[in-house]
Amino acid sequence: MDAAATTTHRTVAIVGASGAGKTTLTEALLHRAGAIPRAGRVEDGSTVSDHEPEEIARGISLGLALGTLTWTCPDGAVNTLTLADAPGHPDFAGAADTALSVADLALVVVSAVDGVQPGTRSAWAVAEALGVPRLVVVTQEDRARADFRRVLAELREAFGEHLWPVELPLGEEQSFSSIADVLGEHALVYDDAGRHHDEDLPAGVVDEEHRMHVDVTEELVSHDDEQLDAYLSGQEPAAADLERTLAREVAAGRAVPVVVASGVTATGVDRLADLLCELAPAPTERDSRVVVGSGDDGDSAADDDGAPGSSVAVAADPSGEPLVHVFRTVADVYVGQVSMLKVLSGIVRTSDRLRNATTGADERIHGLFRLQGKEHLPVDHLSAGEVGAAAKLGGSPSGTLLWSRPSGRARPALPPRRQPVYAATLVPASQSDDERMSTALARLVAEDLTLVVDRVGDATVLRGLGDTHLTVAVDRLARVFGVHVETAPVPVAYRETIARATQAEGKVKKQSGGHGQFAVVQLRVTPLREGSFEFVDSVVGGSVPRQYISAVEKGAHDAMAAGGPQGYPVVDLRVEVYDGKSHSVDSSDMAFRTAAAAGIRTALAEAGTVLLEPVSTVTVTVQPEHQGAVLTDLSGRRGRVSATELADDGRARVVATVPEAELGRYVLDLRSLTGGRAELTVEHAGYERAPSAARADSPTR
């Protein structure tokens, strides 16, 4: 399957809600094109897309999978299509974002039974934000309770009147085996092998189909002066002419065709492949964008010095400078790291040497291939606009850019990174697992940009988009990296501060013969505002020699880090040393450091401390009918609502400050409360005094 054997390459992101039939439809397209000998089944774990053990066990897609096919259109044009099958589960929305970031077209899959779901809206919003043209396919027409017309109404209500049906099912549920071509005004009748022949439309649908034909035709010709003049003079445009106009409208985002197909019976699958090739803009019609002069943050167009990077358009020109977007990396137990690539410009060949413009690593392309799920199909080069993969690019994590320049920084222009909203503590099963866990987590995070590792006290915490997300990550740690861990709740990072200003003395006096230890410091300790520490030297007369002042400050930090009377790190102090004593022989840095730490402990014990709890700013965007339930739930979590407003899309946005102790399972409870139709962001907002009833389960010092 050499890249030179075809004339046009297109990358299609297959997105939508979980359970809408994306993987089954991908399988049907690959089989109908002859790319695979038979269509697998999700239920059997035999599909090209869902090949990871975690996916097979759960029966759902959990990661981005690629499939490649070659398709010859009715006009004889030969195309390659890379199908990027993305998961619909909200915990793996980052994979759908990645698919859309490299797509020429988004194929939004909607179930004829379930209609528009939260996953549909999420995928649509990202595609719209990235400017990716869309085509909607209504699937599962062969299932009980399928209703194309109801779903079409839902789509238009959700996304606008510019969604135009260009196909109409002739019969639904068990009787679905034919499709009306709205532009051509004839029926496509399918046999059991998924092949069709043309017939006249059944009498019962002629009027409905013709009304749709007139509506679509009038909309399309209104965007083409020549066609409009001919149409107004009574000349009916040919179906091929309407399709060409429709393709321009799709590329411009002014029209979204709605078609129908069944991945199970293959009804409409060949026609869908035709439309993907005819309506999807070629890579040469859409520029990619890279941010030059930026750091490797992925969220910001700023470099390491804070200066903004420049967003630059890159044309898909085979004769241009080689630019390669590494959009996804996967650790393979047999070949090591597999990197999914999109060539933005130029031509990349095996044995080429490129530099990662984001990380600075030098890379050699050891071998190029296209992916058919987990199968590797070797190619000798990839040209601008094409998608493929390479092995062993160890210095190129997901979301980075390769180029031929010897210096400089750049990265792909990516959608905003989704912030983690769920977390778990990782507890290694053995000492060996503990020693290898850090390296394994680094590789895991390099694969999935929506995973974050941090520390809360002594605990290693993995953060992601939900409980399933973290469960799958833990499974992969064991299977791929051989690191076994248990999960536990994340300890709340409580802090404490002194309750009132006080004075205290710290003393060290050890004289048992020979060189001793002697130091005395007099301290004033005062509470400060949140997030601050101040050390003041008020010593006069040399009672504490100048060379020991820095040791006194270090001792104060030692005591604060070791924890106060309640067992938590101490913060927000002003420590003033105003007097003390020293000895010409027995005083030392260590003596004054120890004395200062003792003085801080004495001050905290005498004045008492106040427990501080971390709080977060929670933003929930939800349908208006769920706003009341969300407000009530936040109130029950000790949340303080600071704003309620109407978002641009008509949804309600609620902003509240909530203690982090109340947010452990909030994303899961919110999905249950709103039927999965809420968006959530959580950002740490600082510390506040905990109520007297607050109890910490586990110290984090």
When pLDDT is averaged across residues 293-305 and rounded to a whole number, the result is: 44
Given 392, 412, 432, the domain boundary residue is 412
The CA-based diameter of the chain, rounded to the nearest angstrom, is: 116
Q: Do the domain assignments include residue 417?
A: no
Burial 532-547 (b: 16+ CB within 10 A, else e): eeebeeebeeeebeee
How many Å separate Cα 475 from the centre of its chain? Answer: 19
- Together in a domain, 27 and 170: yes
- Together in a domain, 352 and 279: no
Q: Do the domain assignments include residue 698?
A: no
Secondary structure of residue 402 in the 3-state scheme: strand
- Together in a domain, 520 and 562: yes
331 — pLDDT class (breaks 50, 70, 90): confident
Total domains in the fold of the chain: 5
DSSP 627-669: HHHHHHHHHHTT-EEEEEEE-TTS-EEEEEEEEGGG-TTHHHH
- Together in a domain, 466 and 484: yes
pLDDT at 203 over 50: yes
CB 22 within 8 A of CB 12: no
pLDDT digits (tens, 9 = 90+) for 637-687: 999 999 999 988 889 999 999 999 999 999 999 999 999 999 999 999 999
Secondary structure of residue 588 in the 3-state scheme: coil
Q: Do the domain assignments include residue 656?
A: yes
> What whole-number distance in Å separates Cα of residue 290 and Cα of residue 312?
5
Secondary structure of residue 116 in the 3-state scheme: coil
The two three-digit tokens of residue 9, written as one number? 């390459």
Residue 635: give its domain's CATH number: 3.30.70.240
Q: Do the domain assignments include residue 193?
A: yes
- Together in a domain, 399 and 321: yes
Q: Which domain holds residue 629?
A: 611-689
Beta-strand runs (E) in 333-458: 336-345, 347-349, 353-356, 362-364, 368-372, 375-379, 381-383, 387-391, 400-403, 410-412, 422-428, 452-456
CA distances from 16 to 116, 231, 589 (A): 9, 37, 64
DSSP 502-555: EEEEEEEEE-SSSS-EEEEEEEEEEE-STT-EEEEE---TTSS-GGGHHHHHHH
> What whole-number distance in Å separates Cα of residue 534 and Cα of residue 94?
42
- Together in a domain, 205 and 131: yes
- Together in a domain, 596 and 615: no
When pLDDT is averaged across residues 98-118 and rounded to a whole number, the result is: 97
- Kindly report the CA angle at 343 between 337 and 345, in degrees rounded to 5? 145
> What whole-number distance in Å separates Cα of residue 698 and Cα of residue 701?
9
Q: Do the domain assignments include residue 356?
A: yes
Nearest to 582 by CA among 569, 595, 571: 595
Residue 9: give its domain's CATH number: 3.40.50.300
- Together in a domain, 262 and 129: yes
CB 310 within 8 A of CB 296: no
Q: Do the domain assignments include residue 469?
A: yes
Question: According to the model, what pLDDT value does residue 513 have?
Answer: 63
Given 607, 638, 657, the domain boundary residue is 607
Residue 326: give its domain's CATH number: 2.40.30.10
When pLDDT is averaged across residues 600-626 and rounded to a whole number, the result is: 96
pLDDT digits (tens, 9 = 90+) for 336-379: 889 999 999 999 999 999 999 999 999 999 889 999 999 999 99
- Together in a domain, 456 and 531: no
Q: Structure pTM?
A: 0.88
Residue 427: give its domain's CATH number: 3.30.70.870
- Together in a domain, 527 and 596: yes
- Together in a domain, 545 and 653: no
Residue 531: give its domain's CATH number: 3.30.230.10
The two three-digit tokens of residue 164, written as one number? 């135009």
Q: Do the domain assignments include residue 700?
A: no
652-659 and 609-622 beta bridge pairing:
antiparallel
Given 285, 318, 334, the domain boundary residue is 285
Nearest to 489 by CA among 700, 630, 701: 700
- Together in a domain, 16 and 28: yes
pLDDT at 30 over 70: yes
The two three-digit tokens of residue 350, written as one number? 């095996």
pLDDT digits (tens, 9 = 90+) for 439-471: 999 999 999 999 999 998 889 999 999 999 999
Q: Do the domain assignments include residue 101?
A: yes
What residues contact 233, with CB distance under 8 A and at least 6 apart?
A: none
